[in-house]
């Protein structure tokens, strides 16, 4: 009796093991077998893809569909895009664009001056949302002259206007037919219809988004017909899917772990690339709180952190060590600042001078009976920052500074950036094309860590005045001088501890060709890729 029962059970189990996998067998057609389609993967859903709004839309996907008036080339050069040419008036308060002829939105609506103005009007009705961007603040009104001429009137001269028009958001152009029936685009759009090289063809939230080549595109059409973006939140799963030939390309920063990147690169089976430096991973040092209010302590911190070790142990040398808050690639930032050398003796001497003495037999320095303890805040979800934080903690302990790691929920970390409750806090720069102008401009806004960090500087008012001036001046020489002053002061006051210049990494199968990195950090180079 028992035996029969046992056999029956075994039979059921065996049947289940055989049948179940075949139920789940995927249809192999969906895999990337054809030459004209490409499968890419991203960690987050692409979002509603409203060109005039921010998260949860993903910037790379907005960039596939929508185009700017002018585009940003490496080193800050401005190139024609939807505008063929432009002219800035001598007083800097009027920019006149000649729009490209024969451009259509992917729904067939012509892109002309009226359509462009309609988009500006939508954005300008929602100024508070774009408060962080000086350009929107500066625009007074937008006017149309005939079919092809668009005039942007500014309240004050604003030299970075062209740079900020290249941004992926918010000034890109949606077909007026996709505007909502009532209200502005801030409340939502009917469909993501742009002029760009790609058209959204299918969208399944949190599963995938399919982009088809825009067959009526005015510029160079992509070589690939279709790109499928698979949403895979987990980096290790993405690496497995790549090795399993289910995706063609991995691209981005943090989209795969650097362990996986190194392993895929070293296998020799794939093409692996590291981009030029993008933004700066940095820690802001609060000049308005506790021990870090003292310049000597801030300088000592600069001398104590072994960035070479961090770059090699955490980034496997895929990133370069950063000596200055802005890399020398950034416009106006190549001004020959003297790096703070890794020098423990100098750090100790500075701390001694600042009155933080090391009592015999104790590890942590003291002043007036108080130990030298600093709070270092980071988002607990960010594993890279956590690893850097641990390295900084160990380095500072070597000179007698106790670092308390505050790895908190992301919103708490952002709270600290805004309210200044930190000694040290992770605060990365924004990369091209935001640097230096938008980043510097934000240093005046109280909700930014930069503002909190600089708050204790005796010359903060002067820094802010110069920032205001540098954005307004129409004279190139005085602009260079002002940037030199601002960046030199911030460097000398040691309010930022730059760690490394972050990069994008790319891994792709060898049959892909035409790969090149894009000038903006948040663009993914899909349009030039082809498959052999």
Partner 1 sequence: MKLTDHYISRRILQLIPVLLGISIVTFLLIQLMPSDPAAVVLRVANTPATPEAIAAMREKLGLDRPLPVQYFDWLWHVLRLDFGQSFVTGKPVLQEVMHYVPTTLILTACATLLIFAIGLPMGIVAALYRDTVFDQISRLFAYIGVAMPSFWLGFLLIYVFSFKLGWVSVIHQGRSPIGSCRHLP
Interface with partner 1 (CB under 8 A): 2, 5-6, 9-10, 12-13, 16-17, 20-21, 24-27, 30-31, 41, 48, 54-56, 107, 128-132, 187-188, 191-192, 200-207, 230, 232, 234, 236-237, 240-241, 243-244, 246-247, 408-409, 411-412, 414-415, 418, 445, 447
Q: How far apart are CA 299 and CA 49, in angstroms?
A: 44
Number of other residues whose CB lies within 10 A of the CB of residue 375: 18
Look up residue 412 and give its two tokens.
């708490």
Cβ closest to partner 1, residue 131 vs residue 334:
131
Is 324 in contact with 500 (CB distance < 8 Å)? no
Does residue 170 sit in helix, strand or coil?
coil
Cβ closest to partner 1, residue 246 vs residue 485:
246
Q: How far is the CB of 521 from partner 1 (least distance, A)?
A: 18
Cβ closest to partner 1, residue 155 vs residue 205:
205
Q: How far is the CB of 480 from partner 1 (least distance, A)?
A: 30
Find out whether the peptide bond into 89 is cis, omega within 30 degrees of 0.
no
Q: How far is the CB of 471 from partner 1 (least distance, A)?
A: 18
Cβ closest to partner 1, residue 198 vs residue 356:
198
Q: How far is the CB of 26 from partner 1 (least distance, A)?
A: 4
Which residues, in sequence order, are CB contacts of 230 under 8 Å at separation 6+?
39, 40, 41, 42, 207, 208, 241, 246, 247
E-strand ranges in 421-491 read 424-426
Q: How far is the CB of 423 from partner 1 (least distance, A)?
A: 18
Cβ closest to partner 1, residue 20 vs residue 461:
20
Instruction: State the burial class of residue 261 (Cβ atoms within 10 Å of its Cβ: 0-12, 13-18, 19+).
Output: buried
Cβ closest to partner 1, residue 246 vs residue 343:
246
Q: How far is the CB of 162 from partner 1 (least distance, A)?
A: 22
Cβ closest to partner 1, residue 431 vs residue 519:
431
Given CA atoms 57, 59, 65, 66 in this order, what sign does their dihedral have?
A: positive
Q: How far is the CB of 278 from partner 1 (least distance, A)?
A: 21
Q: How far apart are CA 357 and CA 139, in angstroms?
A: 54
Is 400 in contact with 384 (CB distance < 8 Å)? no
Q: How far is the CB of 58 from partner 1 (least distance, A)?
A: 13
Cβ closest to partner 1, residue 20 vs residue 360:
20
Q: How far apart are CA 43 and CA 241, in angstroms?
A: 13
Cβ closest to partner 1, residue 55 vs residue 532:
55
Cβ closest to partner 1, residue 146 vs residue 446:
446
Q: How far apart are CA 141 and CA 121, in angstroms?
A: 8
Cβ closest to partner 1, residue 25 vs residue 220:
25
The DSSP-derived string for 43-76 is: SS------TT--TTS-HHHHHHH---SEEEEGGG
Bridge partner list, 376: 405, 424
Q: How far apart are CA 368 and CA 363, in angstroms?
A: 16
Q: How far apart are CA 139 and CA 186, in angstroms?
A: 18
Q: How far is the CB of 52 from partner 1 (least distance, A)?
A: 11
Q: How far is the CB of 439 from partner 1 (least distance, A)?
A: 16
Cβ closest to partner 1, residue 357 vs residue 412:
412
Look up residue 154 and give its two tokens.
């500014």
Q: How far is the CB of 385 from partner 1 (least distance, A)?
A: 18
Q: How far is the CB of 126 from partner 1 (least distance, A)?
A: 10
Q: Give the residue from 169, 173, 167, 163 showing the smallest Cα distance to 142.
A: 173
Q: How far is the CB of 414 from partner 1 (least distance, A)?
A: 6
Look up residue 258 and give its two tokens.
């650097």
Cβ closest to partner 1, residue 240 vs residue 472:
240
Instruction: State the burial class of residue 413 (Cβ atoms within 10 Å of its Cβ: 0-12, 13-18, 19+).
Output: buried
Q: Give the residue from 61, 28, 64, 37 showing the smallest Cα distance to 511.
A: 37
Q: How far apart are CA 400 and CA 393, in angstroms?
A: 10
Instruction: State the burial class of residue 408 (Cβ atoms within 10 Å of its Cβ: 0-12, 13-18, 19+).
Output: middle
């Amino acid at each position: 009796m028992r035996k029969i029962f046992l056999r029956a059970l075994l039979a059921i189990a065996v049947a289940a093991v055989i049948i179940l996998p075949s139920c789940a067998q995927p249809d192999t057609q969906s895999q990337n077998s054809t030459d004209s389609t490409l499968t890419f993967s991203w960690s987050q859903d692409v979002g509603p893809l409203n060109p005039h709004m921010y998260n949860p839309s993903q910037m790379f996907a907005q960039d596939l569909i929508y185009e700017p008036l002018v585009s940003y080339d490496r080193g800050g050069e401005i190139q024609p895009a939807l505008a063929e040419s432009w002219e800035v008036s001598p007083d800097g308060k009027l920019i006149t664009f000649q729009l490209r002829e024969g451009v259509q939105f992917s729904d067939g609506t012509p892109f002309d001056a009226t359509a462009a103005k309609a988009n500006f009007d939508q954005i300008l009705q929602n100024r508070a949302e774009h408060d962080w961007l000086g350009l929107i603040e500066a625009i007074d009104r937008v006017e149309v002259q005939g079919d092809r001429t668009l005039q942007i009137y500014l309240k004050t001269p604003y030299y970075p206007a062209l740079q900020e028009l290249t941004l992926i958001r918010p000034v890109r152009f949606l077909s007026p037919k996709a505007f909502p029936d009532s209200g502005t685009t801030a409340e939502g759009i009917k469909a993501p219809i742009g002029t760009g090289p790609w058209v959204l063809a299918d969208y399944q939230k949190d599963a995938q988004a399919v982009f088809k080549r825009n067959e009526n595109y005015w510029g160079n059409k992509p070589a690939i017909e279709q790109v499928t973006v698979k949403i895979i939140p987990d980096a290790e799963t993405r690496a497995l899917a790549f090795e399993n030939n289910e995706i063609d390309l991995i691209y981005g920063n943090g989209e795969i772990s650097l362990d996986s990147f190194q392993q895929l690169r070293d296998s020799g089976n794939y093409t692996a690339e590291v981009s030029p430096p993008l933004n700066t991973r940095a820690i802001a040092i609060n000049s308005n709180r506790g021990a870090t209010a003292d310049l000597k302590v801030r300088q000592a911190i600069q001398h104590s952190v072994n960035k070479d070790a961090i770059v090699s142990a955490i980034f496997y040398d895929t990133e370069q060590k950063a000596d200055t808050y802005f890399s020398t690639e950034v416009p106006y930032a190549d001004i020959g600042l003297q790096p703070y050398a890794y020098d423990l003796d100098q750090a100790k001497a500075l701390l001694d001078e600042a009155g933080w003495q090391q009592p015999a037999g104790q590890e942590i320095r003291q002043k007036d009976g108080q130990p030298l303890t600093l709070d270092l805040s980071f988002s607990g979800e960010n594993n890279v920052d956590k690893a850097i934080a641990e390295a900084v903690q160990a380095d500072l302990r070597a000179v007698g500074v106790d670092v308390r790691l505050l790895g908190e929920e992301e919103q708490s970390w952002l709270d600290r950036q805004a309210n200044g409750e930190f000694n040290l806090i992770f605060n990365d720069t924004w990369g091209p094309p935001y640097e230096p102008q938008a980043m510097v401009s934000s240093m005046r806004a109280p909700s930014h860590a930069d503002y909190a960090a600089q708050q204790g500087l005796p010359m903060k008012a002067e820094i802010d005045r110069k920032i205001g001036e540098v954005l307004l001046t129409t004279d190139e020489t005085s602009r260079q001088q002002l940037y030199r002053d601002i960046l030199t002061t911030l460097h000398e006051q040691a309010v930022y501890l730059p760690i490394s210049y972050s990069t994008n990494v790319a891994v792709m199968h060898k049959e892909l060709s035409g790969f090149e990195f894009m000038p903006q950090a948040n663009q993914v180079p899909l349009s030039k890729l082809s498959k052999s």
